[in-house]
Each structure stands twice: as C-alpha cells, then as structure tokens.
Amino acid sequence: MLVTKKMVKTAGFLYLIMIITGGFAEAFVRGGLTVDGDPAATARNILHSEQLYRLGFVADLICIISTTFLSLIFYYLFNPVNKFLSSMALLFSIIASAVMTANLIHQFAPLLLLHNTAYQQAFTIEQLQTQSLFFLNLQSQGYNISLLLFAFYFPIIGWLIYRSNFLPKGLGIIYTLAGVGYLANSLAWFLSPQIAGYLFPYVLLPAFIGETSMSLWLIFKGVKQPEVKPGDLQV
C-alpha cells in the first residue's frame, strides 16, 4: 500500500491529537484530581469536578483511537524499510493500546462506587472513598504497564526512521530517546513510586520532545517518496 502525502499529514495531526488528549487526561485530570494517600479528598475532587473527570475519560478514548490509526499508517510507511520490524512495532502498539483500553475500567470505577445507592447502603462512605482511590492506583499501575510496552515501540520506529531515506536520521535518534524516557518512567514507578514521582517530569521530557518533533515534522515537512536501497528491504 502506497502511503500518500495526505496520509502522512493525517498521521502528524493524529499524533498531535494523541499528545494533547493523552497529556490532558494523565497530567491535568488524573494528576490534578488525585490526592495521594487521601481517599476523601480524591473522592471530593472527582465529585466536584465530575464533568472534567468524564472528559478525561473521553480524552483517553480519543488518544487510543488516534494511536491505533497512527500505528497503522506507520506500519505501511515503514514496511518498505523492514517488514518484520514494522510488524513488530504495530504489534507492540496494539498490545499497549489494548492494555490501556482495558485499564480505563479502573478509571471509571470511582464514579460507579460514589454514585450507586446500592453500594452506599452496603459500605460506609469512607470505605467507598478508599475503594475509589484503590481503583485509581490500580489504573496508574496499568497505565505504566502500557507505557512499558510502548517503550519497545519507540526504538523500533526510531531505527526504521534512521534506516529510511525519507526521514531525517536525527529524528530517528530523538524518537528512540523517547522510548528510553518511557522505559525509565515505567521501571521507576515499579521499583520506587516515591522516586518516580520526583523524576516523572524529567524522564518524560525526551518522550515529549521526540513525539512532538515527529508530529510537527509530519505535518509541516512530510516525507520524501519512500525509496528502498539495495539491502535495506528485509523480510
């Protein structure tokens, strides 16, 4: 399948949508409403900003849908460079997106617990608030698992960019560093959440730079017509 200039520009806009919606849901909504170690304050924040909380849920869905279409375009774009690696990248993206999608159930659980009168009759409000925070913490762990899977996606795409002759090699290096940032972030959360919370803005900086650079390049510069050098095409 030939990837057209229009598809490449669409990929750039999909990437931009993914960055905006994913960042909004994680940093602004969940990060802004969740209070570590305080179930009551977290529950109050969710109920007082319920529309914002629901908007964050929708933003995550949009992010996942955008990621799926973007990964499919990338598969066709880099398939002439290396069919096996482009297939592997698509597989990692699909699995990571599936984990993230299933994980959204945990994010929606607090609304069910805090609004359902049947639960309120069976449990005290303190118990429901604690359960709500538990599901949010579970969502956080699932989110990190999905980022860990995406961390393997980035160096594969980075290598394909580097090996291609239609995108700058420097972009491939930056994109690979984005994966390193995601990997460091996920491993830090699993090993030491306290240290991870402190390092979070710094380890994700390479990811933000790499992904934003890729998005803007596809939108404003696009790609040269893909050509395959002798020996580049691998099955």
Look at residue 115 and tell me if it is in a domain: yes
- Kindly report the average pLDDT of the chain as a whole number: 89
**Which pLDDT score, from 0 to 100, does residue 153 have?**
95
Among the ranges 26-35, 176-185, 187-196, which has the highest mean pLDDT value? Answer: 26-35
Please count the structural domains in the chain.
Answer: 1
Look at residue 20 and tell me if it is in a domain: yes
User: What pTM was estimated for this model as a whole?
Assistant: 0.88
Query: What is the enclosing helix (H) or strand (E) of 134?
Result: helix 125-163
**Which pLDDT score, from 0 to 100, does residue 158 have?**
95
Angle ∠(45,48,51) on CA atoms, nearest 5: 105
Look at residue 32 and tell me if it is in a domain: yes
pLDDT in tens, 35-73: 989 999 999 999 999 999 999 999 999 999 999 999 999
| Token pair belonging to 14 | 């999909």
Alpha helices in 164-204 (DSSP H): 169-191, 193-203
Look at residue 127 and tell me if it is in a domain: yes
Look at residue 13 and tell me if it is in a domain: yes
Look at residue 233 and tell me if it is in a domain: no
Range of the domain at 206: 5-220
Q: What is the rounded distance in angstroms from the CA atom of residue 190 to the CA atom of residue 67?
A: 24
What is the mean pLDDT of the segment spanning 187-211? 80
> What is each CA distance from 136 to 23, 29, 33, 62, 110, in whole angstroms?
17, 12, 11, 20, 8
94: alpha, beta or left? (left if phi > 0; alpha if psi -120 to 50): alpha
Look at residue 235 and tell me if it is in a domain: no
Q: Is 37 exposed, middle or buried (0-12, 13-18, 19+ CB in 10 A)?
A: exposed
Q: What is the rounded distance in angstroms from the CA atom of residue 211 to the CA atom of residue 22?
A: 12
Look at residue 129 and tell me if it is in a domain: yes
